[in-house]
């Protein structure tokens, strides 16, 4: 069984049709890249998967392990193993990163009927993961993302992802706003998490990220549908030719 199956998904935002019969199947352990021009529906797909309000699904299904998740709230989706790395992570004044991480981990564990993580275990894991991502302890004591640079915010997303150990990671334009060094750190963080039981949907406008997170499958999204699917070489092809031909194809 595929970990994620998106079937004939139609989505409207404020009465405007954004996704238009999208089909996507992601197997266990696979890394799928979704590329497409601006306005093709990439971020909408990410938000719909995560369960953001204001996105109206008019048709179709989203199955995680065969269960339809469209009817369940975002926190339950997260507990089931879905993680969205935000394109623009939010700042949460007054909530320390540590508190946030710990609350999230234990909330998910409770929902899954697992015992809460002990303080020493939690601290050990945070230190290990933060060290790998070059996030210093001082940053973790500060309020979530407040005063962080673009790169720090993205690294913080990956830190959360590593701590929460999801089974399906959706990365929404994780490369946007990153310089090449930050991009490498983030990509290494992601690659470290690649595992037989963990799948990725990497949404990106540019091929650059895929030099570092090498996908198994590349899809081209245009006007709310997948219009082409290929191997990792498809990304290189897109880099050379641009999206113009797919714009026309979808029309």
Give residues in contact with another protein (CB under 8 A): 50-53, 73-75, 77-79, 83-84, 86, 89-90, 92-95, 99-100, 103-105, 107-108, 111, 143, 160, 164
Closest to 159 (Cα-Cα) out of 132, 138, 196, 120:
132
Q: How far is the CB of 76 from another protein (least distance, A)?
A: 8
Each as own residue / partner, the long-range contacts of residues 124-128 (CB below 8 Å, 24 or more positions apart, any chain) are: 125/163, 126/98, 126/101, 126/163
**Contact call for residues 173 and 203 (beta carbons, < 8 A):** yes
Q: Which is nearer to another protein, 107 or 227 (CB)?
A: 107
Q: How far is the CB of 211 from another protein (least distance, A)?
A: 28
Q: Which is nearer to another protein, 112 or 127 (CB)?
A: 112
User: Token match 């975002």: residue?
Assistant: 74
Would you say the C-alpha torsion 200, 206, 210, 216 has a positive or negative sign? positive
**Joined tokens for residue 245:** 């031909």
Whole-number Å distance between alpha carbons of 177 and 163:
23
The SS3 assignment for 62 reads: strand
Q: How far is the CB of 242 from another protein (least distance, A)?
A: 32
Q: Which is nearer to another protein, 106 or 211 (CB)?
A: 106
Q: Which is nearer to another protein, 69 or 217 (CB)?
A: 69
Q: How far is the CB of 88 from another protein (least distance, A)?
A: 9
Q: Which is nearer to another protein, 99 or 229 (CB)?
A: 99
Whole-number Å distance between alpha carbons of 29 and 162:
15
Half-sphere exposure of 219 (CA within 13 A, CB side): 23
Q: How far is the CB of 77 from another protein (least distance, A)?
A: 8
Whole-number Å distance between alpha carbons of 114 and 91:
29
Q: How far is the CB of 190 from another protein (least distance, A)?
A: 17
Q: Which is nearer to another protein, 67 or 237 (CB)?
A: 67
Whole-number Å distance between alpha carbons of 183 and 181:
5
């Amino acid at each position: 069984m595929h970990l994620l199956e998106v079937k004939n998904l139609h989505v409207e935002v404020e009465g405007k049709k954004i996704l238009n019969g999208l089909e996507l199947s992601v197997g266990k352990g696979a890394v799928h890249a979704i590329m497409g021009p601006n306005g093709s529906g990439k971020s909408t797909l990410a938000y719909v998967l995560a369960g953001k309000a204001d996105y109206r699904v008019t048709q179709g299904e989203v199955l995680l392990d065969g269960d339809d998740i469209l009817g369940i709230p975002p926190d339950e989706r997260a507990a089931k193993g879905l993680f969205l790395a935000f394109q623009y992570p939010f700042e949460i004044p007054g909530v320390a990163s540590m508190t946030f991480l710990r609350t999230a981990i234990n909330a998910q564990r409770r929902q899954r009927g697992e015992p809460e993580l002990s303080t020493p275990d939690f601290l050990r894991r945070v230190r290990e993961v933060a060290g790998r991502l070059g996030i210093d302890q001082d940053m973790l004591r500060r309020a979530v993302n407040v005063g962080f640079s673009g790169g720090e915010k993205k690294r913080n997303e990956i830190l959360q992802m590593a701590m929460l150990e999801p089974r399906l990671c959706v990365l929404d334009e994780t490369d946007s706003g990153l310089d090449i060094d930050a991009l490498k750190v983030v990509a290494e963080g992601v690659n470290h998490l690649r595992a037989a039981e963990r799948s990725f949907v990497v949404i990106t406008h540019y091929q650059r990220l895929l030099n570092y997170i090498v996908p198994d499958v590349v899809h081209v999204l245009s006007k709310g549908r997948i219009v082409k699917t290929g191997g990792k070489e498809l990304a290189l092809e897109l880099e050379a030719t641009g999206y113009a031909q797919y714009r026309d194809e979808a029309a």
